[in-house]
Amino acid sequence: MQLTREADYAVRCVLYLASAGGRPAAVGEIAEAQGMSAAFTAKILQKLVNAGIAASRRGVKGGFVLARPPAETTLLEVIEAVQGPLALNICVVDRKNCDRNSRCSVHPVWVEVQADMKKKLESYTFERLLNSSPR
């Protein structure tokens, strides 16, 4: 029931890129600023690129930038980019793990709680996060 370290780092990466305002940032720079290992950070940034959240440029003067303006990327997208789709319980995402005894009165609750979470995480764009007062 906990965010992985990877997801936490991913959010911090995007936050960093958002505050860099379009200037390409190299893995080393991002990792150092956030106190994360460079190799692991690189992996995470690759996932963000594959998800279309960040874009990369190779070679000298290369680095990472956001693929879209901060207002168009949400917390949920970033989390799902590295963790895969949010799933509170197996049965929510894979119904066949649920209906073994054909009636399960908790299933709708998992569905509801998960939908709430998604909605909330979706409501936070990185623009909103940047503008919110720190601490």
Partner DNA sequence: TCGAAATAGGATAAAATTACTCCTAATTTA
Partner DNA sequence: TAAATTAGGAGTAATTTTATCCTATTTCGA
Residues within the interface to a second copy (CB under 8 A): 1-4, 7-8, 11-12, 15, 33-35, 75, 79, 83, 86-91, 100-110, 112-113, 116-117, 120-121, 124, 129-130, 132-135
Task: Tell me how many residues contact DNA (CB under 7 A).
Answer: 27
Of residues 92 and 125, the one with the C-beta less far from DNA? 92
Q: Where are the alpha helices (DSSP H) in the chain?
A: 5-20, 27-34, 38-50, 75-83, 90-93, 107-123, 126-131
Of residues 82 and 125, the one with the C-beta less far from DNA? 82
Q: Binding partner of residue 87 among DNA, a second copy, none, CB under 5 to 8 Å per kind?
A: a second copy
Q: Binding partner of residue 109 among a second copy, DNA, none, CB under 5 to 8 Å per kind?
A: a second copy
What is the DSSP-derived secondary structure letter of residue 66?
A: E
Separation in Å, CA 92 to CA 46, 107, 117: 28, 7, 13
Smallest separation, CB 19 to DNA (Å): 16
Neighbours of 78 (CB within 10 A): 26
The 3-state DSSP class for residue 63 equals: strand
Give the up-direction half-sphere exposure of residue 27: CA atoms within 13 A in the CB hemisphere. 17
Site string for DNA, 45-74 (x = CB under 7 A): xx--xx-----xxxxxxxxx----------
